[in-house]
Structure formats: structure tokens, C-alpha cells
């Protein structure tokens, strides 16, 4: 077997083709657009290169066949915030061969070690954690856009190599043909109409205003979260530009209290229902096919990608009120039959409670693993977010570490 670092156009193509080889004839797999994956590794496209570095490799067997791939990256904004400096590996794909898998892990580990890292998370993304993050271990069914799909045998590869679960990620599904619990709606409507609170959806015309509001909410809501780092506004602007043909303005909501932004909610049409027909290519004919399926309402599923509420308002039921407004929107978009609520970590019991209160059913589980290069060091799972509001660092220090 031979490891080759991806440095030229041929090997970039090979890196993309490996996923097509691994999932050939698997109808559950929706291949991401090649350009999307390439963008992760392009400093001109990915702002994480401003504060990090990344590379990737392919694995070739003795007969010259492609049998695996992996990427490694360091986000310096987060790497040194852990007990051990921690990098990441991702975009792992491999045939069912443990030696091949371990060689890929060894390669990523060695690259990170040379750069001062003492631990490796995986499989993760060189970017925000709403896309390409975690290993699928339960729910081998079609995934929502951005949620990775994997072979069942990958779990043994990671765990046999020494990776341990850092946190679990759950995706809940909401069947829109079933009504929400009546009690939920009464509370939601009361909050939605309470004086001082206003709700409005995103518009491209005022996109910069909403981008700034989202950043303000995110920074305040996540500032005490483990390993918080601010969002780069350029990332949000790029997502808005790139998604303009797909983003539904009425699927992105903001809540305000006396004019101050206090919560946001982002839901996207699940374009995987179209991508599954396109094999990752966005050539002329596939562009026409994509537009056709958009117009003919092939997409019947949406995915909630992120939701945030500033700590001071986390007990006001603002999340319920946003769901109330969102349900009013979906009443005139009847082709949407299902909503995926993803992903929520096992460290976030409050959000899990919200998802369950609206009737969500846990359908998929992904694991984010961590490997300590020195196995004698104590391993700690990501801390649980307390149910009470977190208004100070003192409260955050009281969070229980999970061994």
C-alpha cells in the first residue's frame, strides 16, 4: 500500500473519486458536489486557512487501485484551548481493511504530531461543525444535507485504533403529517405574541443586517461554551451567496426583545434529495436537472442546521415561539413532509428536551471521537451544558467533566 499526499489535479480527482468507489450502488449515499469538498481545501474559499492549515492523502494498493483517503487539519483558534493541543482528521473513507485504515490514521497522526499536536478529533471538518462532522453509527438511512454518511464498519476502525467518544450527536426527525402537542402550541403562541418580543425572517435585501444579528447572538450564546471561537462574517456571507438559489428566506428566523437580537433559527431545504441523483457533478446537464427538481418540489424534507438563544432569554420559551412562526410558514409549503432537527450534542440536554417536546424522534447518531496520542493522559468527554442559564464564567466552571 502506498500513501500519496494530494498535491496535483490528478490526485485531487482521485480523492473525490474514492467516495464514489466506496459507496457505489448505495442508494442512501448522496455525494456532495465536488466543488464543495474542494472548497474545504482551498485557501481562497475556506477562511479557516486564516488561522490554520490542512492537507490530505489518498491510499493506493499494490495493484494501483484507490482504496482510501483521509485529511488532517489544525484550527489554531481552538487547538490550544484543550488540555492537549488538538488537531483533527476527516473525510475518511476506506475499504473494509483494518491495516489500510490504520495506515491512514497513522499518516494523519504523524502530520499533526510534527506540528505540535497531542490529540486528534475525528472525523471532523476543517470548518464549522454543521457540515461533515461526526461518524454515523446509528440510522443508516438517507442523511440530511451536510450530515455525513458512512460505512458501518468504520466504527470498529476508529475504536480499535484507540479513538474514544468525545461527544455524541443526535438527529431528530419531525413528521409534519402529525400535529404538534397542543400544550406546546399554547405556550409557543403566548410567547410569540408577548409585548416586547418581535420575530422576523431573513431577507436577502437586508442580508448584512441579519448576518450581524446572527453573529451578535452566536457570540453571546456560545461565549461560555467549551472551546468557543467567534464566527468569521466572511463565512456567513459566502454561505448566503452560495446558497442564494436554494435558501428559503422564510426558513431563517430571528427573535428580538425591544429591538435587541436574542435568538436565531436556520433551516434549509434538504438538497440531498436532489444530490443523490447527481453523483457530485455540477455540469451543465446537472445544473438543469437541479433547477428542474427545485421547481417541481422534489424536496420534501428540510433540515434545521442551527439554533441559538442568548443566555438571558433561554427560559422565556423563545425557541417555542420561533417554531410557532415556522409552522405558519410550512402551512403554505405543503410539499414539506419531514423536518430533520440536527444535530444536537449529548452535552446539550436543554436542546434535546426542546426537540422532544415538539414531537421529534431520534433517528440518527453520529460520534465525534478524540484520540490522545499519550494514552496515559486522562481522557475527558466534552462537558455537559447545565440546564440553567449560564450568565458567568463561574457557572461554567461548575460544569461536570465526564470521564
- What's the pLDDT tens digit per position in 14-32? 999 999 999 998 999 999 9
Global confidence as pTM? 0.88
Residues 190 and 134 in one domain: no
- Least confident range from 139-143, 243-247, 372-376: namely 243-247
Which grid cell sits at 361? 424522534
**373, 119 contact by CB (below 8 A):** yes
Q: Say whether the peptide bond before residue 56 is cis (omega within 30 degrees of 0).
A: no
- Residue 338 inside a domain? The answer is yes
Residues 348 and 378 in one domain: no
Residues 6 or more apart whose Cβ sits within 8 Å of residue 256: 197, 198, 199, 200, 262
Does an H or E element contain 276, and which?
Answer: none
In this prediction, residue 31 carries a pLDDT of 95
- Judged against a pLDDT cut of 70, whether residue 36 lies above it is answered with yes
Residues 354 and 221 in one domain: yes
Whole-number CA gyration radius for the chain: 21
Residues 190 and 159 in one domain: no
Dump pLDDT digits (tens) for 323-356: 888 888 988 999 999 999 989 999 989 889 888 8
Residue 255: give the domain boundaries.
174-367
Provide mean pLDDT across the span 291-314: 89
**Highest mean pLDDT: which range of 30-44, 167-181, 224-238:** 30-44
Q: How confident is the model at residue 391 (pLDDT cuts 50, 70, 90)?
A: very low
Residues 305 and 257 in one domain: yes
How many domains does the structure of the chain reveal?
2
Q: How confident is the model at residue 176 (pLDDT cuts 50, 70, 90)?
A: confident
Dmax (CA) for the chain in angstroms is 70
Q: Is 94 helix (H, G, I), strand (E, B) or coil?
A: strand
Provide mean pLDDT across the span 21-48: 94
Q: How confident is the model at residue 222 (pLDDT cuts 50, 70, 90)?
A: confident
**What CATH number is attached to the domain comprising 270?**
3.40.630.30
- Least confident range from 1-10, 195-204, 281-290: namely 281-290
CA angle 273, 275, 279 (to 5 degrees): 140
**Residues 338, 340: Cα–Cα separation, whole Å:** 7
- Residue 178 inside a domain? The answer is yes
- Residue 236 inside a domain? The answer is yes
Residues 154 and 215 in one domain: no
Q: What is the mean pLDDT of the chain?
A: 90
Amino acid at each position: 500500500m502506498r500513501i500519496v499526499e494530494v498535491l496535483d489535479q490528478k490526485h485531487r480527482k482521485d480523492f473525490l473519486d474514492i467516495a464514489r468507489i466506496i459507496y457505489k450502488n448505495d442508494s442512501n449515499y448522496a455525494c456532495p458536489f465536488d466543488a464543495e469538498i474542494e472548497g474545504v481545501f482551498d485557501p481562497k474559499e475556506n477562511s479557516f486557512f486564516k488561522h490554520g492549515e490542512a492537507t490530505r492523502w489518498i491510499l493506493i494498493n499494490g495493484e494501483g487501485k484507490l482504496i482510501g483517503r483521509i485529511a488532517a487539519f489544525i484550527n489554531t483558534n481552538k487547538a490550544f484551548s484543550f488540555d492537549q493541543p488538538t488537531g483533527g482528521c476527516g473525510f475518511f473513507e476506506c475499504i473494509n481493511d483494518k491495516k489500510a485504515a490504520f495506515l491512514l490514521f497513522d499518516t494523519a497522526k504523524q502530520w499533526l504530531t510534527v506540528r505540535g499536536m497531542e490529540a486528534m478529533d475525528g472525523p471532523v471538518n476543517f470548518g464549522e461543525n454543521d457540515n461533515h462532522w461526526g461518524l454515523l453509527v446509528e440510522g443508516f438511512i438517507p442523511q440530511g444535507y451536510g450530515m455525513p454518511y458512512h460505512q458501518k464498519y468504520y466504527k470498529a476502525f476508529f475504536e480499535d485504533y484507540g479513538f474514544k467518544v468525545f461527544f455524541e450527536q443526535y438527529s431528530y426527525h419531525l413528521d409534519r403529517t402529525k400535529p404538534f402537542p397542543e400544550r406546546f402550541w399554547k405556550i409557543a403562541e403566548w410567547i410569540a405574541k408577548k409585548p416586547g418580543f418581535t420575530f422576523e425572517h431573513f431577507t436577502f435585501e437586508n442580508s448584512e443586517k441579519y448576518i450581524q444579528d446572527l453573529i451578535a447572538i452566536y457570540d453571546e450564546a456560545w461565549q461560555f461554551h467549551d472551546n468557543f471561537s467567534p464566527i468569521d462574517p466572511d463565512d456567513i456571507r459566502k454561505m448566503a451567496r452560495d446558497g442564494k438559489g436554494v435558501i428559503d428566506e422564510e426558513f431563517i428566523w430571528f427573535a428580538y426583545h425591544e429591538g435587541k437580537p436574542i435568538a436565531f433559527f436556520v433551516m434549509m431545504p434538504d438538497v440531498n434529495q436532489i444530490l443523490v441523483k447527481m453523483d457530485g457533478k455540477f455540469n451543465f446537464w446537472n445544473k438543469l436537472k437541479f433547477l428542474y427538481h427545485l421547481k417541481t418540489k422534489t424536496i420534501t424534507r428540510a433540515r434545521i442546521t442551527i439554533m441559538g438563544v442568548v443566555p438571558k432569554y433561554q427560559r422565556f420559551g423563545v425557541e417555542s415561539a420561533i417554531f410557532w412562526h415556522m409552522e405558519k410558514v410550512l402551512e403554505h409549503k405543503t410539499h414539506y413532509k419531514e423536518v430533520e432537527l440536527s444535530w444536537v450534542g449529548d452535552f446539550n440536554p436543554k436542546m434535546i428536551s426542546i426537540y422532544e417536546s415538539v414531537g421529534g424522534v431520534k433517528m440518527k447518531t453520529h460520534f465525534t471521537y478524540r484520540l490522545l496520542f499519550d494514552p496515559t493522559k486522562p481522557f475527558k468527554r466534552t462537558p455537559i451544558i447545565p440546564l440553567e442559564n449560564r450568565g458567568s464564567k463561574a457557572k461554567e466552571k461548575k460544569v461536570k467533566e465526564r470521564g
